[in-house]
Structure 1
Protein backbone atom coordinates (compact mmCIF):
# COMPACT_ATOMS: atom_id res chain seq x y z
CA UNK A 1 0.00 0.00 0.00
CA UNK A 2 1.48 3.38 -0.96
CA UNK A 3 1.03 6.43 1.21
CA UNK A 4 -0.68 9.53 -0.08
CA UNK A 5 1.74 12.38 -0.68
CA UNK A 6 0.53 15.71 0.61
CA UNK A 7 1.45 18.90 -1.22
CA UNK A 8 3.71 19.87 1.69
CA UNK A 9 5.55 16.56 1.40
CA UNK A 10 5.87 16.78 -2.37
CA UNK A 11 7.52 20.20 -2.12
CA UNK A 12 10.24 19.05 0.26
CA UNK A 13 13.77 18.96 -1.03
CA UNK A 14 15.33 15.48 -1.35
CA UNK A 15 17.66 16.23 1.55
CA UNK A 16 14.70 17.04 3.81
CA UNK A 17 13.04 13.73 2.97
CA UNK A 18 16.28 11.85 3.62
CA UNK A 19 16.70 13.56 6.98
CA UNK A 20 13.13 12.66 7.93
CA UNK A 21 13.70 9.01 7.06
CA UNK A 22 16.97 9.02 9.01
CA UNK A 23 15.27 10.51 12.07
CA UNK A 24 12.53 7.87 11.95
CA UNK A 25 15.07 5.09 11.45
CA UNK A 26 17.09 6.24 14.45
CA UNK A 27 13.90 6.51 16.50
CA UNK A 28 13.09 2.89 15.62
CA UNK A 29 16.55 1.70 16.69
CA UNK A 30 16.30 3.63 19.95
CA UNK A 31 12.84 2.21 20.69
CA UNK A 32 13.92 -1.38 19.99
CA UNK A 33 17.00 -0.91 22.20
CA UNK A 34 14.93 0.48 25.07
CA UNK A 35 12.21 -2.16 24.89
CA UNK A 36 14.65 -5.03 24.21
CA UNK A 37 12.45 -6.02 21.26
CA UNK A 38 9.26 -4.88 19.51
CA UNK A 39 6.97 -5.93 16.69
CA UNK A 40 6.42 -3.71 13.65
CA UNK A 41 2.92 -2.78 14.80
CA UNK A 42 4.24 -1.88 18.27
CA UNK A 43 6.92 0.30 16.67
CA UNK A 44 4.30 2.05 14.55
CA UNK A 45 2.09 2.77 17.57
CA UNK A 46 4.92 3.91 19.83
CA UNK A 47 6.41 6.29 17.26
CA UNK A 48 3.20 7.49 15.62
CA UNK A 49 4.05 6.01 12.22
CA UNK A 50 1.66 4.60 9.65
CA UNK A 51 1.93 0.85 9.25
CA UNK A 52 3.27 1.17 5.72
CA UNK A 53 6.00 3.59 6.83
CA UNK A 54 6.95 1.36 9.75
CA UNK A 55 7.13 -1.75 7.55
CA UNK A 56 9.19 0.05 4.91
CA UNK A 57 11.71 1.44 7.40
CA UNK A 58 11.98 -1.82 9.33
CA UNK A 59 12.62 -3.75 6.13
CA UNK A 60 15.34 -1.30 5.15
CA UNK A 61 16.97 -1.50 8.59
CA UNK A 62 16.91 -5.29 8.37
CA UNK A 63 18.54 -5.24 4.93
CA UNK A 64 21.39 -3.15 6.31
CA UNK A 65 21.84 -5.35 9.39
CA UNK A 66 20.61 -2.82 11.93
CA UNK A 67 17.62 -4.96 12.92
CA UNK A 68 17.19 -8.73 13.17
CA UNK A 69 13.92 -10.62 13.47
CA UNK A 70 13.22 -13.15 16.21
CA UNK A 71 10.58 -15.48 14.70
CA UNK A 72 9.82 -17.16 18.03
CA UNK A 73 8.95 -13.86 19.74
CA UNK A 74 7.64 -12.14 16.61
CA UNK A 75 9.80 -9.13 17.46
CA UNK A 76 12.62 -7.08 16.04
CA UNK A 77 15.90 -6.84 17.93
CA UNK A 78 19.10 -4.94 17.28
CA UNK A 79 21.07 -6.55 14.48
CA UNK A 80 24.75 -7.23 13.87
CA UNK A 81 25.47 -3.75 12.49
CA UNK A 82 24.16 -2.14 15.68
CA UNK A 83 26.17 -4.58 17.81
CA UNK A 84 29.39 -3.83 15.89
CA UNK A 85 28.84 -0.09 16.24
CA UNK A 86 28.15 -0.38 19.96
CA UNK A 87 31.24 -2.54 20.50
CA UNK A 88 33.42 -0.05 18.65
CA UNK A 89 32.03 2.82 20.72
CA UNK A 90 32.64 0.96 23.99
CA UNK A 91 36.19 0.04 22.98
CA UNK A 92 37.01 3.68 22.24
CA UNK A 93 35.63 5.00 25.54
CA UNK A 94 37.86 5.46 28.58
CA UNK A 95 35.78 5.80 31.74
CA UNK A 96 37.94 8.43 33.41
CA UNK A 97 38.25 10.49 30.24
CA UNK A 98 34.50 10.27 29.66
CA UNK A 99 33.75 11.20 33.28
CA UNK A 100 36.16 14.12 33.60
CA UNK A 101 33.82 16.74 32.06
CA UNK A 102 30.97 15.53 34.30
CA UNK A 103 33.12 15.85 37.39
CA UNK A 104 34.28 19.34 36.41
CA UNK A 105 30.66 20.33 35.79
CA UNK A 106 29.65 19.17 39.27
CA UNK A 107 32.63 20.86 40.91
CA UNK A 108 31.73 24.13 39.17
CA UNK A 109 28.07 23.83 40.20
CA UNK A 110 28.65 22.88 43.84
CA UNK A 111 32.13 24.28 44.54
CA UNK A 112 32.67 21.08 46.55
CA UNK A 113 34.98 18.10 46.09
CA UNK A 114 33.71 15.68 43.43
CA UNK A 115 35.05 12.12 43.17
CA UNK A 116 34.75 9.17 40.80
CA UNK A 117 34.93 5.71 42.36
CA UNK A 118 34.91 2.23 40.88
CA UNK A 119 34.01 -1.04 42.63
CA UNK A 120 36.76 -3.31 43.88
CA UNK A 121 35.50 -6.22 45.93
CA UNK A 122 33.82 -4.89 49.04
CA UNK A 123 35.09 -1.34 48.51
CA UNK A 124 34.96 1.61 46.14
CA UNK A 125 38.30 3.00 44.93
CA UNK A 126 38.88 6.67 44.10
CA UNK A 127 40.14 6.97 40.52
CA UNK A 128 39.52 10.65 39.69
CA UNK A 129 38.76 13.84 41.58
CA UNK A 130 37.92 17.46 40.97
CA UNK A 131 38.47 19.92 43.81
CA UNK A 132 35.96 22.69 44.33
CA UNK A 133 36.85 26.13 45.61
CA UNK A 134 35.49 25.50 49.08
CA UNK A 135 37.54 23.91 51.88
CA UNK A 136 37.51 20.12 51.46
CA UNK A 137 36.83 17.38 53.96
CA UNK A 138 38.07 14.67 51.57
CA UNK A 139 41.80 14.13 51.98
CA UNK A 140 42.24 10.57 50.70
CA UNK A 141 44.59 10.16 47.75
CA UNK A 142 43.58 8.59 44.47
CA UNK A 143 43.72 4.82 44.80
CA UNK A 144 42.37 4.94 48.37
CA UNK A 145 39.35 2.75 49.05
CA UNK A 146 36.11 3.30 50.92
CA UNK A 147 33.65 0.69 52.26
CA UNK A 148 30.43 -0.09 50.42
CA UNK A 149 28.13 0.00 53.41
CA UNK A 150 28.73 3.44 54.96
CA UNK A 151 29.68 5.80 52.11
CA UNK A 152 27.64 7.52 49.44
CA UNK A 153 29.78 5.94 46.71
CA UNK A 154 29.25 2.44 48.07
CA UNK A 155 25.55 2.83 48.78
CA UNK A 156 24.95 4.27 45.32
CA UNK A 157 26.68 1.26 43.80
CA UNK A 158 24.75 -1.26 45.89
CA UNK A 159 21.43 0.44 45.12
CA UNK A 160 22.16 0.29 41.38
CA UNK A 161 22.77 -3.46 41.34
CA UNK A 162 20.03 -5.79 40.08
CA UNK A 163 18.32 -7.46 43.03
CA UNK A 164 20.06 -10.88 42.70
CA UNK A 165 23.49 -9.22 42.56
CA UNK A 166 22.59 -6.99 45.49
CA UNK A 167 21.66 -10.00 47.61
CA UNK A 168 24.98 -11.66 46.68
CA UNK A 169 26.88 -8.51 47.66
CA UNK A 170 25.09 -8.28 51.01
CA UNK A 171 25.90 -11.92 51.76
CA UNK A 172 29.57 -11.24 50.97
CA UNK A 173 29.55 -8.19 53.24
CA UNK A 174 28.19 -10.26 56.12
CA UNK A 175 30.68 -13.08 55.50
CA UNK A 176 33.76 -10.88 55.07
CA UNK A 177 35.94 -10.71 58.22
CA UNK A 178 36.93 -7.18 57.16
CA UNK A 179 33.35 -5.90 57.04
CA UNK A 180 31.51 -4.54 60.11
CA UNK A 181 28.19 -5.56 58.53
CA UNK A 182 26.71 -8.51 60.41
CA UNK A 183 23.62 -10.67 60.15
CA UNK A 184 22.13 -8.46 62.86
CA UNK A 185 22.81 -5.15 61.07
CA UNK A 186 22.42 -6.07 57.39
CA UNK A 187 18.71 -5.26 57.48
CA UNK A 188 19.56 -1.64 58.35
CA UNK A 189 21.83 -1.46 55.30
CA UNK A 190 19.12 -3.04 53.15
CA UNK A 191 16.65 -0.37 54.31
CA UNK A 192 19.11 2.41 53.46
CA UNK A 193 19.61 0.92 49.98
CA UNK A 194 15.85 0.95 49.43
CA UNK A 195 15.70 4.59 50.51
CA UNK A 196 18.54 5.33 48.10
CA UNK A 197 16.61 3.71 45.26
CA UNK A 198 13.51 5.73 46.09
CA UNK A 199 15.44 9.01 46.21
CA UNK A 200 17.55 8.24 43.16
CA UNK A 201 20.77 9.17 44.98
CA UNK A 202 22.69 8.10 48.08
CA UNK A 203 23.87 9.97 51.12
CA UNK A 204 26.39 9.70 53.95
CA UNK A 205 25.65 12.07 56.81
CA UNK A 206 28.76 11.90 59.03
CA UNK A 207 28.55 8.09 59.08
CA UNK A 208 31.97 7.32 57.61
CA UNK A 209 33.68 10.48 58.79
CA UNK A 210 32.28 12.84 61.43
CA UNK A 211 33.77 15.81 59.62
CA UNK A 212 32.11 15.29 56.23
CA UNK A 213 28.82 14.66 54.46
CA UNK A 214 28.34 13.54 50.88
CA UNK A 215 25.83 12.38 48.30
CA UNK A 216 26.28 10.20 45.25
CA UNK A 217 24.80 8.30 42.33
CA UNK A 218 25.74 5.45 40.03
CA UNK A 219 27.01 5.45 36.46
CA UNK A 220 25.80 2.63 34.19
CA UNK A 221 27.41 1.29 31.01
CA UNK A 222 25.93 -0.25 27.86
CA UNK A 223 25.29 -3.56 29.65
CA UNK A 224 22.86 -1.91 32.07
CA UNK A 225 25.10 -2.51 35.10
CA UNK A 226 26.74 0.08 37.37
CA UNK A 227 30.45 0.56 36.59
CA UNK A 228 31.26 3.59 38.73
CA UNK A 229 29.78 6.15 41.09
CA UNK A 230 30.20 9.89 41.55
CA UNK A 231 30.01 11.70 44.87
CA UNK A 232 29.99 15.31 46.05
CA UNK A 233 31.53 15.78 49.50
CA UNK A 234 32.14 18.70 51.78
CA UNK A 235 32.66 19.84 55.35
CA UNK A 236 29.77 18.44 57.39
CA UNK A 237 28.45 21.70 58.87
CA UNK A 238 28.21 23.28 55.42
CA UNK A 239 27.33 20.23 53.36
CA UNK A 240 24.67 18.49 55.44
CA UNK A 241 21.81 20.94 54.71
CA UNK A 242 22.83 20.98 51.04
CA UNK A 243 22.72 17.21 50.48
CA UNK A 244 19.01 17.20 49.46
CA UNK A 245 19.81 19.91 46.89
CA UNK A 246 22.98 18.37 45.48
CA UNK A 247 21.72 14.77 45.44
CA UNK A 248 19.36 15.22 42.45
CA UNK A 249 22.07 17.20 40.64
CA UNK A 250 24.56 14.34 41.01
CA UNK A 251 21.91 11.90 39.83
CA UNK A 252 21.22 13.95 36.69
CA UNK A 253 24.91 14.24 35.83
CA UNK A 254 25.27 10.47 36.27
CA UNK A 255 22.32 9.86 33.95
CA UNK A 256 23.95 12.01 31.29
CA UNK A 257 27.29 10.23 31.68
CA UNK A 258 25.56 6.84 31.57
CA UNK A 259 23.93 7.81 28.28
CA UNK A 260 27.36 8.77 26.92
CA UNK A 261 28.56 5.26 27.85
CA UNK A 262 25.73 3.66 25.88
CA UNK A 263 23.27 3.01 28.69
CA UNK A 264 19.60 2.92 27.72
CA UNK A 265 17.19 2.86 30.67
CA UNK A 266 14.30 0.42 30.37
CA UNK A 267 11.26 1.90 28.65
CA UNK A 268 8.47 3.05 30.93
Structure 2
Protein backbone atom coordinates (compact mmCIF):
# COMPACT_ATOMS: atom_id res chain seq x y z
CA UNK A 1 0.00 0.00 0.00
CA UNK A 2 2.81 2.38 0.89
CA UNK A 3 4.56 1.78 -2.45
CA UNK A 4 1.32 2.43 -4.34
CA UNK A 5 0.62 5.62 -2.41
CA UNK A 6 4.14 6.86 -3.06
CA UNK A 7 3.65 6.36 -6.82
CA UNK A 8 0.25 8.05 -6.75
CA UNK A 9 1.56 11.05 -4.85
CA UNK A 10 4.57 11.40 -7.17
CA UNK A 11 2.51 11.20 -10.35
CA UNK A 12 -0.26 13.43 -9.03
CA UNK A 13 2.27 16.12 -8.30
CA UNK A 14 3.49 16.05 -11.89
CA UNK A 15 0.30 15.41 -13.90
CA UNK A 16 -3.04 17.17 -14.48
CA UNK A 17 -5.34 17.36 -11.48
CA UNK A 18 -7.96 15.06 -13.04
CA UNK A 19 -5.60 12.31 -14.22
CA UNK A 20 -5.64 8.90 -12.52
CA UNK A 21 -2.08 7.56 -12.03
CA UNK A 22 -3.04 3.85 -11.88
CA UNK A 23 -4.73 4.20 -15.27
CA UNK A 24 -1.60 5.85 -16.68
CA UNK A 25 0.47 2.93 -15.41
CA UNK A 26 -1.94 0.37 -16.88
CA UNK A 27 -1.74 1.97 -20.33
CA UNK A 28 2.04 2.28 -20.04
CA UNK A 29 2.13 -1.47 -19.41
CA UNK A 30 -0.28 -2.23 -22.28
CA UNK A 31 1.79 -0.21 -24.75
CA UNK A 32 4.86 -2.09 -23.59
CA UNK A 33 3.17 -5.46 -24.19
CA UNK A 34 1.73 -4.33 -27.54
CA UNK A 35 5.26 -3.38 -28.65
CA UNK A 36 6.45 -6.93 -27.97
CA UNK A 37 7.50 -6.71 -24.33
CA UNK A 38 6.58 -10.04 -22.75
CA UNK A 39 7.33 -9.00 -19.11
CA UNK A 40 9.25 -12.22 -18.41
CA UNK A 41 11.41 -10.42 -15.83
CA UNK A 42 9.07 -8.49 -13.55
CA UNK A 43 11.82 -6.55 -11.81
CA UNK A 44 13.44 -5.44 -15.08
CA UNK A 45 10.07 -4.51 -16.61
CA UNK A 46 9.12 -2.54 -13.49
CA UNK A 47 12.35 -0.55 -13.69
CA UNK A 48 11.92 0.09 -17.41
CA UNK A 49 8.36 1.36 -17.00
CA UNK A 50 8.92 3.19 -13.73
CA UNK A 51 6.34 1.05 -11.95
CA UNK A 52 6.66 -0.59 -8.57
CA UNK A 53 7.19 -4.37 -8.97
CA UNK A 54 4.25 -5.27 -6.76
CA UNK A 55 2.03 -2.84 -8.66
CA UNK A 56 3.21 -4.34 -11.95
CA UNK A 57 2.23 -7.85 -10.86
CA UNK A 58 -1.18 -6.64 -9.68
CA UNK A 59 -1.75 -4.86 -13.00
CA UNK A 60 -0.80 -7.95 -14.98
CA UNK A 61 -3.23 -10.18 -13.12
CA UNK A 62 -6.03 -7.59 -13.17
CA UNK A 63 -5.67 -7.10 -16.93
CA UNK A 64 -5.63 -10.87 -17.37
CA UNK A 65 -8.88 -11.22 -15.41
CA UNK A 66 -10.49 -8.66 -17.73
CA UNK A 67 -9.26 -10.52 -20.82
CA UNK A 68 -7.14 -7.57 -21.94
CA UNK A 69 -3.91 -9.60 -21.80
CA UNK A 70 -3.27 -13.31 -21.69
CA UNK A 71 -0.41 -15.65 -20.84
CA UNK A 72 0.54 -18.71 -22.84
CA UNK A 73 2.99 -20.05 -20.28
CA UNK A 74 1.29 -19.83 -16.86
CA UNK A 75 2.15 -16.23 -16.14
CA UNK A 76 5.79 -16.26 -17.21
CA UNK A 77 5.13 -13.94 -20.17
CA UNK A 78 2.23 -11.95 -21.56
CA UNK A 79 0.61 -10.81 -24.80
CA UNK A 80 -2.47 -8.80 -25.75
CA UNK A 81 -5.66 -10.80 -25.27
CA UNK A 82 -8.95 -11.22 -27.09
CA UNK A 83 -10.56 -8.58 -24.88
CA UNK A 84 -8.18 -5.90 -26.11
CA UNK A 85 -8.61 -6.97 -29.75
CA UNK A 86 -12.40 -6.82 -29.35
CA UNK A 87 -12.21 -3.34 -27.85
CA UNK A 88 -10.01 -2.18 -30.74
CA UNK A 89 -12.39 -3.69 -33.30
CA UNK A 90 -15.38 -1.98 -31.64
CA UNK A 91 -13.53 1.35 -31.68
CA UNK A 92 -12.73 0.96 -35.35
CA UNK A 93 -16.35 0.10 -36.15
CA UNK A 94 -17.48 3.41 -34.69
CA UNK A 95 -15.73 5.34 -37.47
CA UNK A 96 -17.85 6.90 -40.21
CA UNK A 97 -16.20 4.86 -42.94
CA UNK A 98 -17.48 1.59 -41.47
CA UNK A 99 -21.07 2.85 -41.24
CA UNK A 100 -20.99 4.00 -44.84
CA UNK A 101 -19.20 0.89 -46.10
CA UNK A 102 -21.17 -1.88 -44.38
CA UNK A 103 -24.31 -1.89 -46.59
CA UNK A 104 -22.21 -1.54 -49.74
CA UNK A 105 -20.01 -4.46 -48.69
CA UNK A 106 -23.01 -6.64 -47.80
CA UNK A 107 -24.52 -6.03 -51.23
CA UNK A 108 -21.19 -6.77 -52.94
CA UNK A 109 -20.72 -10.05 -51.04
CA UNK A 110 -24.20 -11.12 -52.12
CA UNK A 111 -23.54 -10.16 -55.73
CA UNK A 112 -20.11 -11.77 -56.11
CA UNK A 113 -20.55 -14.68 -53.66
CA UNK A 114 -17.10 -13.82 -52.31
CA UNK A 115 -15.76 -12.38 -49.03
CA UNK A 116 -15.40 -8.61 -48.76
CA UNK A 117 -13.08 -6.82 -46.31
CA UNK A 118 -12.38 -3.23 -45.32
CA UNK A 119 -9.08 -2.27 -43.69
CA UNK A 120 -6.94 0.70 -42.73
CA UNK A 121 -3.19 1.18 -42.75
CA UNK A 122 -1.40 1.19 -39.39
CA UNK A 123 2.34 1.50 -39.90
CA UNK A 124 3.45 -1.47 -41.98
CA UNK A 125 0.27 -3.42 -41.17
CA UNK A 126 -3.33 -3.44 -42.31
CA UNK A 127 -5.97 -3.63 -39.58
CA UNK A 128 -9.19 -5.24 -40.81
CA UNK A 129 -12.25 -3.33 -39.63
CA UNK A 130 -15.19 -5.01 -41.38
CA UNK A 131 -15.95 -8.30 -43.07
CA UNK A 132 -18.95 -9.38 -45.10
CA UNK A 133 -19.25 -12.96 -46.29
CA UNK A 134 -21.65 -14.72 -48.68
CA UNK A 135 -24.04 -17.45 -47.67
CA UNK A 136 -21.74 -20.18 -48.94
CA UNK A 137 -18.75 -22.24 -47.91
CA UNK A 138 -16.38 -19.68 -49.49
CA UNK A 139 -15.83 -17.78 -46.26
CA UNK A 140 -12.66 -15.85 -45.39
CA UNK A 141 -10.90 -16.64 -42.11
CA UNK A 142 -9.80 -12.99 -41.70
CA UNK A 143 -11.76 -11.47 -38.81
CA UNK A 144 -12.41 -7.91 -37.67
CA UNK A 145 -9.37 -6.75 -35.74
CA UNK A 146 -6.96 -8.98 -37.69
CA UNK A 147 -3.61 -7.42 -38.48
CA UNK A 148 -1.72 -8.47 -41.64
CA UNK A 149 1.43 -7.15 -43.36
CA UNK A 150 0.66 -4.35 -45.82
CA UNK A 151 3.32 -5.32 -48.36
CA UNK A 152 1.79 -8.79 -48.84
CA UNK A 153 -1.92 -7.89 -48.95
CA UNK A 154 -4.01 -6.12 -51.58
CA UNK A 155 -5.53 -3.57 -49.20
CA UNK A 156 -2.08 -2.75 -47.88
CA UNK A 157 -0.58 -2.42 -51.36
CA UNK A 158 -3.29 -0.13 -52.73
CA UNK A 159 -2.96 2.19 -49.71
CA UNK A 160 0.84 2.17 -49.95
CA UNK A 161 0.45 3.04 -53.63
CA UNK A 162 -1.01 6.44 -52.69
CA UNK A 163 1.56 7.15 -49.97
CA UNK A 164 4.08 9.96 -50.67
CA UNK A 165 7.41 8.49 -51.76
CA UNK A 166 9.44 9.92 -48.85
CA UNK A 167 6.93 8.60 -46.32
CA UNK A 168 7.04 5.18 -47.98
CA UNK A 169 10.85 5.10 -47.96
CA UNK A 170 10.96 6.13 -44.30
CA UNK A 171 8.34 3.53 -43.39
CA UNK A 172 10.19 0.64 -45.02
CA UNK A 173 13.78 1.71 -44.48
CA UNK A 174 15.66 -1.32 -43.11
CA UNK A 175 12.37 -3.24 -42.86
CA UNK A 176 12.33 -7.01 -43.30
CA UNK A 177 9.70 -7.83 -45.95
CA UNK A 178 8.65 -11.36 -45.12
CA UNK A 179 7.90 -13.74 -47.99
CA UNK A 180 4.52 -15.30 -47.30
CA UNK A 181 4.57 -17.04 -50.68
CA UNK A 182 6.96 -17.07 -53.63
CA UNK A 183 4.93 -14.19 -55.14
CA UNK A 184 5.34 -11.78 -52.21
CA UNK A 185 7.56 -8.72 -52.76
CA UNK A 186 10.54 -9.12 -50.44
CA UNK A 187 12.59 -6.01 -51.29
CA UNK A 188 11.66 -2.34 -51.26
CA UNK A 189 12.53 -2.09 -54.95
CA UNK A 190 10.11 -4.90 -55.81
CA UNK A 191 7.41 -3.37 -53.64
CA UNK A 192 7.78 0.08 -55.23
CA UNK A 193 7.47 -1.43 -58.71
CA UNK A 194 4.44 -3.46 -57.67
CA UNK A 195 2.53 -0.62 -56.03
CA UNK A 196 3.42 1.64 -58.95
CA UNK A 197 1.43 -0.73 -61.17
CA UNK A 198 -1.32 -0.87 -58.57
CA UNK A 199 -1.71 2.91 -58.58
CA UNK A 200 -1.54 3.06 -62.38
CA UNK A 201 -4.52 0.71 -62.67
CA UNK A 202 -6.32 1.91 -59.53
CA UNK A 203 -6.51 -1.62 -58.19
CA UNK A 204 -4.20 -4.18 -56.52
CA UNK A 205 -4.41 -7.80 -57.68
CA UNK A 206 -3.17 -10.91 -55.92
CA UNK A 207 -3.05 -14.51 -57.05
CA UNK A 208 -1.49 -16.28 -54.10
CA UNK A 209 0.72 -13.35 -53.04
CA UNK A 210 -0.21 -13.79 -49.38
CA UNK A 211 -1.73 -17.24 -49.16
CA UNK A 212 -1.41 -20.06 -51.73
CA UNK A 213 -4.64 -20.72 -53.59
CA UNK A 214 -6.26 -17.44 -52.52
CA UNK A 215 -6.94 -14.56 -54.90
CA UNK A 216 -7.83 -10.98 -54.04
CA UNK A 217 -8.16 -7.49 -55.45
CA UNK A 218 -8.52 -4.15 -53.67
CA UNK A 219 -9.36 -0.51 -54.35
CA UNK A 220 -8.79 2.57 -52.19
CA UNK A 221 -11.45 4.61 -50.39
CA UNK A 222 -11.02 8.39 -50.21
CA UNK A 223 -12.50 10.92 -47.78
CA UNK A 224 -13.79 14.44 -48.41
CA UNK A 225 -10.19 15.73 -48.43
CA UNK A 226 -9.24 13.24 -51.14
CA UNK A 227 -7.09 11.28 -48.69
CA UNK A 228 -6.91 7.48 -49.04
CA UNK A 229 -8.18 6.44 -45.63
CA UNK A 230 -9.11 2.79 -46.17
CA UNK A 231 -9.20 -0.02 -48.68
CA UNK A 232 -11.83 -2.54 -49.69
CA UNK A 233 -11.06 -5.94 -51.19
CA UNK A 234 -12.68 -9.06 -52.58
CA UNK A 235 -11.17 -12.42 -51.60
CA UNK A 236 -11.81 -15.95 -52.80
CA UNK A 237 -10.40 -18.98 -54.63
CA UNK A 238 -7.45 -18.05 -56.83
CA UNK A 239 -8.97 -19.43 -60.03
CA UNK A 240 -11.72 -16.79 -59.90
CA UNK A 241 -9.10 -14.06 -60.19
CA UNK A 242 -7.45 -15.24 -63.42
CA UNK A 243 -6.23 -12.18 -65.31
CA UNK A 244 -8.30 -10.98 -68.25
CA UNK A 245 -11.08 -13.50 -67.61
CA UNK A 246 -14.68 -12.26 -67.75
CA UNK A 247 -15.06 -13.04 -64.06
CA UNK A 248 -11.96 -11.02 -63.12
CA UNK A 249 -13.17 -8.07 -65.18
CA UNK A 250 -16.54 -8.25 -63.42
CA UNK A 251 -14.84 -8.37 -60.01
CA UNK A 252 -12.64 -5.38 -60.89
CA UNK A 253 -15.59 -3.29 -62.02
CA UNK A 254 -17.60 -4.22 -58.93
CA UNK A 255 -14.86 -3.46 -56.40
CA UNK A 256 -14.00 -0.14 -58.05
CA UNK A 257 -17.67 0.85 -58.10
CA UNK A 258 -18.07 -0.10 -54.43
CA UNK A 259 -14.97 1.89 -53.40
CA UNK A 260 -16.23 4.89 -55.39
CA UNK A 261 -19.69 4.66 -53.77
CA UNK A 262 -18.21 4.54 -50.27
CA UNK A 263 -15.89 7.45 -51.10
CA UNK A 264 -18.84 9.54 -52.31
CA UNK A 265 -20.63 8.70 -49.10
CA UNK A 266 -17.69 10.23 -47.23
CA UNK A 267 -17.85 13.40 -49.30
CA UNK A 268 -15.18 12.62 -51.89
CA UNK A 269 -15.68 14.69 -55.04
CA UNK A 270 -12.78 13.39 -57.14
- Structure 2 residue aligned with 1:168: 167
Please give the alpha-carbon distance, in whole angstroms, between the structure 2 residues aligned to 1:119 and 1:220. 13
Kept in 1: contact 2:120–2:230 (CA 8 A): yes
Please give the alpha-carbon distance, in whole angstroms, between the structure 2 residues aligned to 1:150 and 1:237. 19
Unaligned runs of 5+ in 1: 1-91
Kept in 2: contact 1:117–1:124 (CA 8 A): yes
Q: What does the per-residue CA deviation read over 1:179-206, in whole Å, with 9 as the maximum and x for residues that have no partner?
A: 439x982222111112112222111110
- Secondary structure at the residue paired with 1:139? coil
- Structure 2 residue aligned with 1:194: 196
Residues 58-77 of structure 1: pairs in structure 2 closer than 5 A: none
- How far 1:135 sits from its partner (Å)? 2.9
Match of 1:139 among 138, 141, 146: 141
- Structure 2 residue aligned with 1:157: 159
Residues 9-158 of structure 1: pairs in structure 2 closer than 5 A: 94-136=96-138, 138-158=140-160
Please give the alpha-carbon distance, in whole angstroms, between the structure 1 residues aligned to 2:199 and 2:225. 19
Q: Which has the larger radius of gyration?
A: 1
- Structure 2 residue aligned with 1:257: 262
Q: What does the per-residue CA deviation read over 1:88-112, in whole Å, with 9 as the maximum and x for residues that have no partner?
A: xxxx972211111110121122110
- How far 1:225 sits from its partner (Å)? 0.8
**RMSD value, Cα:** 2.3
Please give the alpha-carbon distance, in whole angstroms, between the structure 2 residues aligned to 1:99 and 1:166. 28
Please give the alpha-carbon distance, in whole angstroms, between the structure 1 residues aligned to 2:232 and 2:262. 10
Q: Residues 99 and 123 of structure 1: is their aligned pair in 2 closer, same or farther, counting only changes over 3 Å?
A: same
Q: Per chain length, whose mean CA-contact separation is higher, i.e. which structure has more relative contact order (CA < 8 Å, sep 6+)? A: 1
TM-score between the two structures when normalised by the length of structure 2 = 0.57
- Structure 2 residue aligned with 1:205: 207
- How far 1:245 sits from its partner (Å)? 2.9
Unaligned runs of 5+ in 2: 1-93, 180-184
- Return structure 1 stretches of 4+ with deviation > 4 angstroms: none
- How far 1:176 sits from its partner (Å)? 3.1
Please give the alpha-carbon distance, in whole angstroms, between the structure 2 residues aligned to 1:193 and 1:214. 15
Q: Residues 173 and 244 of structure 1: is their aligned pair in 2 closer, same or farther, counting only changes over 3 Å?
A: farther
Please give the alpha-carbon distance, in whole angstroms, between the structure 2 residues aligned to 1:147 and 1:130. 21
Kept in 2: contact 1:128–1:142 (CA 8 A): yes
Q: Residues 195 and 137 of structure 1: is their aligned pair in 2 closer, same or farther, counting only changes over 3 Å?
A: farther
Q: Residues 244 and 97 of structure 1: is their aligned pair in 2 closer, same or farther, counting only changes over 3 Å?
A: same
